[in-house]
Amino acid sequence: MSVENWESLSEPVVWRPSKAYLDKSRLLRFMRRHNIAAYADLLARADADPAWFWDAVSADLGLVWQRPYTQVMDTSRGIPWTTWFTGGHFNYVSSALDKHVTSGAGERAAVIWEGEDGETRRLSYRELTALTNRAANALKALGVGKGDRVAIYMPMIPETVAATLACGRIGAIYMPVFSGYGVEAVATRLQDAGAKIIITADGYYRRGKVVRMKDIADAAAAESPSVEKLLVVRRVGTDVAWNPTRDVWWHEAVDPAAPDCATEETAAEDPYMLIYTSGTTGTPKGAVHVHCGFPIKGAQDMAHLFDVQEDDTFFWLTDIGWMMGPWAISGALLLGATLAIYEGTPDYPAPDRLWDFAARHAVTVMGIAPTVIRSLMGHGDALVKRHDLSRLRILGASGEPWNSAPWHWFFTVVGGGRCPIINYSGGTEISGGIVGCTTIQPIKPCSFSTAVPGIAADVVDDAGRPVRNAVGELVIRKPWPGMTRGFWHAPERYEAAYWQRFPGLWVHGDFAVIDADGFWYILGRSDDTIKVAGKRLGPAEVESAAVAHPAVTEAAAVGVPHEVKGEAVVVFAVLQPDAAPSDALRGEITAAVVKVLGPALKPETVLFVRQLPKTRNGKVLRRLIRARHLGRADLGDLSSLESPDALEEIAHAV
């Protein structure tokens, strides 16, 4: 099948909301509050009147405004530069922490943490508030003030949560940095942001070994003249190099600080986070997010799609450096839920680590990237079923398009066939989702039930006209509070990236389709699409066919130049532990793809590798795979790559 023949993706509805899900739904309560009987009417009203919708969301979330706003949205500078909640002063930390403590929920668990080594900690909202305030006072004592940039280069530990909130408390701008970055990637971001302080750790555990994090922070700081201090958490107790004029231990600065700290009054449009996104070309882009943007959009998505409530324990497998890390922190806490975080890898010391984690910590809402599911399902059903996952009520997924077999495994084995999979797709510059599922609508495998309420999403053809039952570009027609306020020091780059192709429309860069029943499918990045003899082919289609072979655990498909077809398909396959590469196996995998896609889309070759180049949160970096396979010298920005060894696997694939 080609992208144009997407119909074979569509499967019958497999999940419908029970009375229990409908009775509990926050989204239905929101609709009833506004006398909206039908879900389609909610979307139509939100699209037609964004100001009404986001004013209603502010009230529904119980946001605490330091000063009330006088106007919900202002498009006077043009749609790409829309501002929100004019005249309002809002610091999201007051709504994420103080509101819960003052309302009597201070003893409710705010954060549950588990390290890869098995250590656990639990902080109530009262305890997290005190820790945040101590960290905020320590930062002020180190010279950090409103508007200063603070790099948070940390593993997922409780201090990381407190550090992000402490920056917001005092009006500083935090910059989350992926914990697996090397020196160059960290330094590039420090330099671009002009970071004043790095908050880091001595190290963390990764597959039982200590990653010496401070060594990398030291080297990156040496290349970054703006950095004045390193605030260091003692996580693993390893010896580290120490600069007494620059370095400060967290426990020496934070622990003795006062547990009370006044919240800085911040305007709705004041930046609170600068988060960098990467591509395979060009330097990383610093997306600017504000107090009234990213936190509100993220919390609204959690409320309306994932139905997160105060009695939920919310867990998403992520790193602080990826969008889902900050999203999980601000969203879960704004909703008064319990946030569960995990430091390590999903399959260490055994491939049931996540299921064990979810059972022991009574996780109710659990998000995992499809790529992680693909890697874990090969270990079998028994490892899941030995753990009590009965408390799970919502499953979540983001980061990559699904294929059928892993989706069904997640749904039936992990979720017991009773939990909806809230498929979720958007981006860092969006502050969350463009399309998703809800707990009040039917769900088809691998699909999205809806555009996210408040996001006027559409699918258009090459002329910008809406299309249905046909492949097009995913766009957004109206502004929303979570849209990035441009790229740091590069507003023209922001406009060029999203607004130039169709004036007035945000073009996201994904191929998508809306079927006759109104279900959405994301077919992958439009620049990942392979074009064979004029037929557009989504890589996920090839990969799904390849992993159907019992010897294949993961696959990545890319297009390479072909003098006759324009492009030909090359498949990189990761085999099961008991399978050995051979020409015969190569032929079998090729035949499996041909059986599904037809002889016209037969792979040119199948190459065997031990691992695929990915980000830490599981996205397969197909453009890097293609560039390395073709021997290109300039691979662009490699900072999102988790393992350089995986890229060398591509170069030497056999």
Cis peptide before 295 (omega within 30 of 0): no
Which among 293, 363, 398 has a CA at the least distance from the CA of 73?
Answer: 293
Picking from 524, 545, 576, the residue at the C-terminal end of a domain is 524
Q: Is residue 165 part of a domain?
A: yes
Picking from 490, 505, 524, the residue at the C-terminal end of a domain is 524
* Same structural domain, 33 and 125: no
* Same structural domain, 286 and 435: yes
3-state SS string over 172-193? CEEEEECCCCCHHHHHHHHHHH
* Same structural domain, 240 and 276: no
Residue 491, domain CATH: 3.40.50.12780
Structurally, how many domains does the chain consist of?
A: 3
Strand-strand pairing, 229-233 and 247-249: parallel
Residue 591, domain CATH: 3.30.300.30
Q: Distance between CA atoms of 443 and 338, rounded to whole angstroms?
A: 26
Q: Is residue 258 part of a domain?
A: no
3-state SS string over 255-296? CCCCCCCCCCCCECCCEEEEEEECCCCCCCEEEEEECCCHHH
* Same structural domain, 391 and 536: no
pLDDT along the chain (654 residues), means of 10: 58 96 98 98 98 98 98 97 98 98 98 97 98 98 98 98 98 94 88 97 95 97 98 97 98 98 98 82 83 98 98 96 95 98 95 98 96 89 97 93 90 98 95 98 97 98 92 96 96 92 92 93 75 68 86 90 80 92 94 81 91 78 86 70 80 77
User: DSSP readout, 302-362?
Assistant: HHHTS---TT-EEEE---TTSTHHHHHHHHHHHTT-EEEEE-S-TTSSSTTHHHHHHHHTT
Buried b (16+ CB within 10 A) or exposed e, 121-140: eebbbbbbbbbbbbbbbbbb
Q: Is residue 491 part of a domain?
A: yes
Helix (H, G, I), strand (E, B), or coil: what is residue 450?
strand
Task: Report the Cα 220 to chain-centroid distance in Å.
Answer: 25
> Degrees (nearest 5) of the Cα angle 615, 419, 346?
30
Residue 247, domain CATH: 3.40.50.980
* Same structural domain, 247 and 345: no
8-state DSSP, 652:
T
Domain span at residue 532? 528-651
Q: Is residue 372 part of a domain?
A: yes
* Same structural domain, 581 and 499: no
Q: Judge residue 442's burial from the number of C-beta atoms within 10 Å of its C-beta, 0-12 exposed, 13-18 middle, 19 or more buried.
A: middle
* Same structural domain, 281 and 214: no
Which among 49, 6, 25 has a CA at the least distance from the CA of 479?
Answer: 49
* Same structural domain, 210 and 354: no
pLDDT attached to residue 511: 86
Residue 41 makes CB contacts below 8 A (sequence gap 6+) with: none
Helix (H, G, I), strand (E, B), or coil: what is residue 447?
coil
* Same structural domain, 340 and 469: yes
* Same structural domain, 452 and 600: no
Q: Is residue 504 part of a domain?
A: yes
* Residue 493, CA distances (Å) to 275, 489, 621, 640, 644 in order: 15, 9, 22, 20, 28
* Same structural domain, 507 and 439: yes
Q: How many other C-beta atoms are found inside a 10 Å radius of the C-beta of residue 536?
A: 17
Q: Is residue 266 part of a domain?
A: no
3-state SS string over 502-569? CCCCEEEEEEEEECCCCCEEEEEECCCCEEECCEEECHHHHHHHHHCCCCEEEEEEEEEEECCCEEEE
Q: Is residue 263 part of a domain?
A: no
Strand-strand pairing, 394-397 and 421-423: parallel
Q: Is residue 578 part of a domain?
A: yes
Picking from 524, 547, 566, the residue at the C-terminal end of a domain is 524
Q: Distance between CA atoms of 393 and 359, rounded to whole angstroms?
A: 12
* Same structural domain, 503 and 489: yes
Q: Distance between CA atoms of 565 and 568, rounded to whole angstroms?
A: 7
